[in-house]
Structure 1
Amino acid sequence: MRFGSGHLAYCTNIHPAESWADTFSAISSHAMAVRDSVGGKGEPYAIGLRLSARASLELLEGSGLADFKRWLDEENAYVFTINGFPYGDFHGTRVKEKVFQPDWTTRERLDYTKRLFTILAEILPQGVDGSVSTLPGSHKTFHAEEAPIFAHLEELAVFLDDLAAKTGRDFHLGLEPEPLGHFENTAETLAFFERMKAVSPEPARLLRRLGINYDACHFALQYEEARTSLDALVAAGLRISKIHLSSALALDPRDREAVAALAAFDEPVYFHQVLARHADGGIQRFVDLPDALAARKSGGTEAEEWRVHFHIPLDAEPAPPLRSTRQQVRDVLAWRRDHPDACTHYEIETYTWGVLPRNLHRPVVEQIAAEYRWVMEEC
């Protein structure tokens, strides 16, 4: 749906779907039910599409893309953004570090991302710019070389410039900083782009086609103020390609009841990185929640606060003594009011529906619709 001068959707990565048939089934049922629930039937309805590598190939076969475009027109719906971070299976199996594979050192990641933009170019409405979000290059534990990352991103920028010239549309890729990603916070993001520009034959093209997918959950995990971070990124000339409206889990690890309550969030599918802030402001990073719990049990960590990478529905707070970082989303929306044109792509991204504890679990359409209403009320 329209969101001021921009667009607001929820990301369909919340629905388990790897084939195009399953992806379309989720869109045509759940996404349309959400639209009807939030009263969006009378206006063009925005869809934040997630396509796996498999689904992207299948959609380009035969009349698949033309059929999808026709369905969008019939439903008065449109796609303005695609989540291209998860390449393969994203539900019901161990995802964790696999969500970073293949990374941007590989040709597979580049070719997949090109396909997503090729699809987007065919279905994007006139007058709307198109974005794809992706991983922050690689994961720190992969110890990736930056040269192939830079080369592949440069090639994508050239591809997007050509695609824009052919179609008259504006296309941009949003690299998404994430805890323990190749770059994960504001300082590392700025440094990464400076290194990339230094070896680029045309830095202006890079800044035109490559930007940041700012995930409110991820930056809250870094204990960074939204306004300070966003202002710094914009001041450096970086494009805010898309903003994910998402919330993390937070607690005081000195509270035994709070730590005990974490058991309900310790599940085997996704990475739940933990960033622990100490009294002196220092931040200790744990690759996953079990690592943080083991360190605490052995007395190897002392901190005032833990923030856990577990997306919490925007409209719901976990039961005390746990809490969320929802204020970060409020701060992002406040920044948006002051900078209405700085970013036009917004996406609700609580993909953890399938692994939420029972006390937070609702029918998926009900949850997504409630998150939409919360965002609109906060605006």
Structure 2
Amino acid sequence: MKTPYGHLTYCSNIHAGESWKDHFAQLKKYIPHIKQEASPHQPFGIGLRLSNIASLELEWEENMEAFKQWLQQEDCYVFTMNGFPYGSFHHTRVKDQVHAPDWTNYDRFQYTLRMAWLLAELLPEGMDGGISTSPLSYQFWHEPEQMDEVFVKATKHILGVVEELIQIKDVTGKMIHLDIEPEPDGLLGESEAFFEWYTQYLLPMGIDYLHDQFGYGETQAVAAIKEHVQLCYDICHFAVCYEDHAAVLEKLRKLGIKTGKIQISAALKGAFCQDLQMRGAVVDAFEDINESTYLHQVVAMQKDGSLIRYPDIPIALKDAANEFTTEWRAHFHVPLFVDHYGVLGSTQKDIEQVLQLHQQQPFTTHLEIETYTWEVLPGDMRLPIEDSIVRELEWVQGLLKRKSTSAATNQAASNQTYHA
């Protein structure tokens, strides 16, 4: 749905299924109710997750036409896609395989091209479209001496997508961007790694590549790259890494790099105090939520401000007695509207901060809620999934409205003081 601060939706990766038939069945089951509750008087945008298998099947003309007719019938539209998980994302052990195949693999390249053409087919006129994707690879798959080769190979595939996105724009008039999503322990795990890759690999290699493909000069090549390769600002991921959101946004502006979408998401955190009983309760709470499907990277803040990174909760638990640790943050996409889960808290404040910064100086038109860990909710707060999604959408809408009203009040007070 359109808000004063961009198109707001949720990511459909919450719904199980890997074939297009499964994807479409889930959309038909849940979207009408969600739209009726959250966006009854205006079109509702969909954040579409497509597995590789589903993307192949949606290319079939009969499937695409049926989907487009359904979108028109339900007053819905697709403006952003999740192209991070290539394969199974539900009812199986995912863990580090969420990165497979990575950007060094031709299959990832082909999958992303396919999604770009599908999005061009679905995207309404006059609207840009985005595809979020993995942070190139998973860092623990590669030895240090391999890293330069990995970056070069992955970047070549990214630039092949840029070439295709330029052609899509020329042919269809649709502007689509690839949104790189940093994630803890990804090859681009934090904002600084993203900036280094963008300036040291993507731009220099891209200038030469687009000169060879299209005869672009440096200025034109840089402009095309910055239009078609953007950042996916996943608040959960950045919060886990204790990122300074204002500083990240300032560097984006300084470098002229755009943000394709904000993924509105919350992580879990637990404070470690000196009281051994309370400290034990926090450790027990993390142990209780440990599960075997997804990666739950943990980043620990130390008393001196340094960080220790653990690839998953079981590894962090082995270091739970570290007396220098003051806080753990774990990669769980937990519900937005709750800030505490027993002795654990959430990084809800990071969402509030990022959206407030966005209101002050908008930096994207795509807002996508990504929550898929609902099991942490207390039993009395659990609702059917469609009602939980509506609650998320309403919480974000309320936050945007509240922040907007507060900003207007402060501005009015400032004006009165000035005139006085």
Normalising by structure 2, report the TM-score: 0.86
Consecutive aligned runs of 4 or more in structure 1 exceeding 3 Å deviation: 299-302, 355-361
Q: What's the counterpart of residue 215 of structure 2?
A: none
Q: What's the counterpart of residue 57 of structure 1?
A: 56
Give the conservation status (yes or no) of the 8 Å contact 2:298–2:313.
Answer: yes
Structure 1 stretch 99-108 or stretch 141-150: which is displaced more? 141-150
Label 1:216 to 1:5 Cα distance change in 2 as closer, same or farther (>3 A): closer
Rounded Cα–Cα distance in structure 1 between residues aligned with 2:223 and 2:65: 34
Q: What's the counterpart of residue 118 of structure 1?
A: 117
Q: What's the counterpart of residue 214 of structure 1?
A: 233
Q: How does 1:255-334 map to 2 (within 5 A)?
A: 255-296=279-320, 299=321, 302-334=324-356
Q: What's the counterpart of residue 23 of structure 1?
A: 23
What is the Cα deviation at residue 130 of structure 1? 0.6
| Count of aligned residue pairs for this structure pair | 374
Q: What's the counterpart of residue 204 of structure 2?
A: 198
Structure 1 stretch 195-204 or stretch 94-103: which is displaced more? 195-204
Rounded Cα–Cα distance in structure 2 between residues aligned with 1:62 and 1:320: 50
The amino acid across from 1:338 in the alignment is Q
Rounded Cα–Cα distance in structure 1 between residues aligned with 2:158 and 2:175: 17
**Identity over aligned residues, as a percent?**
37
Rounded Cα–Cα distance in structure 2 between residues aligned with 1:106 and 1:2: 36
Q: What's the counterpart of residue 77 of structure 2?
A: 78
| Residue number among 357, 378, 395 corresponding to 1:374 in the alignment | 395
Give the conservation status (yes or no) of the 8 Å contact 2:282–2:343.
Answer: yes
What is the Cα deviation at residue 192 of structure 1? 0.8
Normalising by structure 1, report the TM-score: 0.95
The one-character-per-residue Cα deviations of 1:248-294 (angstroms, maximum 9, x if unpaired) are: 00002442111111233100000000000101110000000111012
What is the Cα deviation at residue 358 of structure 1? 5.1
Rounded Cα–Cα distance in structure 2 between residues aligned with 1:162 and 1:356: 45
Q: What's the counterpart of residue 135 of structure 2?
A: 136
| Unpaired runs of at least 5, structure 2 | 209-220, 274-278, 401-420
Give the conservation status (yes or no) of the 8 Å contact 2:337–2:392.
Answer: yes
The one-character-per-residue Cα deviations of 1:297-337 (angstroms, maximum 9, x if unpaired) are: xx457310100001110112333321000001001110111
Give the conservation status (yes or no) of the 8 Å contact 1:275–1:286.
Answer: yes
| Unpaired runs of at least 5, structure 1 | none
Rounded Cα–Cα distance in structure 2 between residues aligned with 1:325 and 1:151: 36
Label 1:166 to 1:5 Cα distance change in 2 as closer, same or farther (>3 A): farther
SS in 1 for 2:166: helix
What is the Cα deviation at residue 101 of structure 1? 0.3
SS in 2 for 1:352: coil
Q: What's the counterpart of residue 126 of structure 2?
A: 127
Structure 1 stretch 136-145 or stretch 108-117: which is displaced more? 136-145
Q: What's the counterpart of residue 217 of structure 2?
A: none
Q: Which has the larger radius of gyration?
A: 2
